[in-house]
Amino acid sequence: MKHSLKQIIPNKLFSIKVLLKPAIVAAALSLSACLSQADSSALNGTTSQGNNLQVATFAGGCFWCVEAGFEKLEGVSEVVSGYSGGSIKNPTYRQVSSGSTRHIEAVQVFYDESIISYDALLYSFWRQINPTDDGGQFVDRGYQYKPAIFFHNLKQKMAAQRSSKALAATGRFDSALKTDLTKFTAFYDAEDYHQDYYKKNPIRYKFYRYNSGRDKYLEKTWGDDLHKPFATKVSMKNDTEMSMKVQAAKTKQYSKPSDAQIKKMLTALQYDVTQEEGTESPFTNKYWDNKQEGIYVDVVSQEPLFSSLDKYDSKTGWPSFTQPLVSENVKEETDFKLIYPRTEIRSRYGDSHLGHVFSDGPKPTGLRYCINSAAMRFVAKADLEKEGYGEFVKLFK
């Protein structure tokens, strides 16, 4: 699995082939390259060296995916992919993937306990795996891919037991939980090419992840609760602000004009982007480098979409945001225009094509809403009241 896609073991390659057309498989496989192995080293203890960060160790199948999931959390400083629970020191990926060493693919999470708790990490962990499958995870089969929690101390053990018991009591799963709870002994870093794989090889990672079945299972199992945030200290501070945003969404009604009206309202570029799913050029569009305070509304329906408070420089040349201003005004659809599926973003009332959302953004959400300037109109902070968006003035005080 972690070798290039050319090196995927036969049963995995078959699983992917049956899902995609041969031409698409060939295109994805052509992206592969032979990767070298590197030595790994052991990490032990409950705190990372040289600072006061706490350490947690989890196994949830493919460590590329689990690493990516934990790195999105506010308060997590670093996540390292590696191997734990086996019988030999410093195993290589090739040894672990054979199943002969009894190691499990795992990750070590270094986190600031003043920002995020171990309970919050467990909360995230359950939403990344299938806790009822001890024969592997999704497309990856075998002992080396089984789910496990390696506790570093009694406090972590008790927290994991409580969390597991609470999860089982929800009745969400048809079968019993089979996630091991094991005392931590040693952890060995995986080879360098495995670290931050989702960042270094985004196309290969997305191709693998989509075809692994992980996301389909999680969405089916958790539904709307999948992305429901844990009540961390940081998120609790934002509760009042988020409540205000939700209320703001209900204060007005927006609608989509007729196509004839839209053509009169918009420029050719705005029409192409919003109505025909076009994409404007990077770095030359209107708002990619806009640093003014204010909000961005749908150029068609005028519904509020994003805020300058959540805007950041993604180096892509398009306006990028970590989250919507009013989540109810933004809807997601799957776009299959490339060799891997993307999540398209559209406005709720105007049904305008806005852009796409990606999972490579900064904290606290880990998301990057990449939006076309042509799909939006900017309303400066000083103009919010007179343009009818007075409910958002408080955000900028």
Q: Which residues are catalytic?
A: 62, 370
Instruction: At 194, list the tokens.
Output: 């495995």
Structure tokens at 283: 């770095």
Residue 342 — φ and ψ, nearest 5°? -120, 160
Angle between helices 202-212 and 22-29 (to 10 degrees): 140
CA–CA separation, 19 and 343 (whole Å) = 19
Question: What CA–CA distance (Å, rounded) separates 10 from 102?
Answer: 21
Other C-beta atoms within 10 Å of 247: how many?
A: 11
Edge-to-edge strand ranges of the sheet holding 330-335? 311-312, 320-321, 368-371, 353-358, 342-347, 330-335
List the one residue out of 2, 20, 7, 65 whose CA is nearest residue 339: 20
Q: Which residues contact 67 (CB under 8 A, 6 or more apart)?
A: 79, 80, 81, 107, 195, 196, 197, 198
**Cβ proximity of 4 and 33 under 8 Å:** yes
Token couple for 90:
């410093």
| β-strands 294-298, 187-189 pairing | unpaired
- Cα distance between the two ends of the chain: 50
CA-to-CA separations, 176 to 144, 267, 315, in angstroms, rounded: 20, 57, 46
Q: What angle do CA 76, 80, 82 make, to 5 degrees?
A: 145
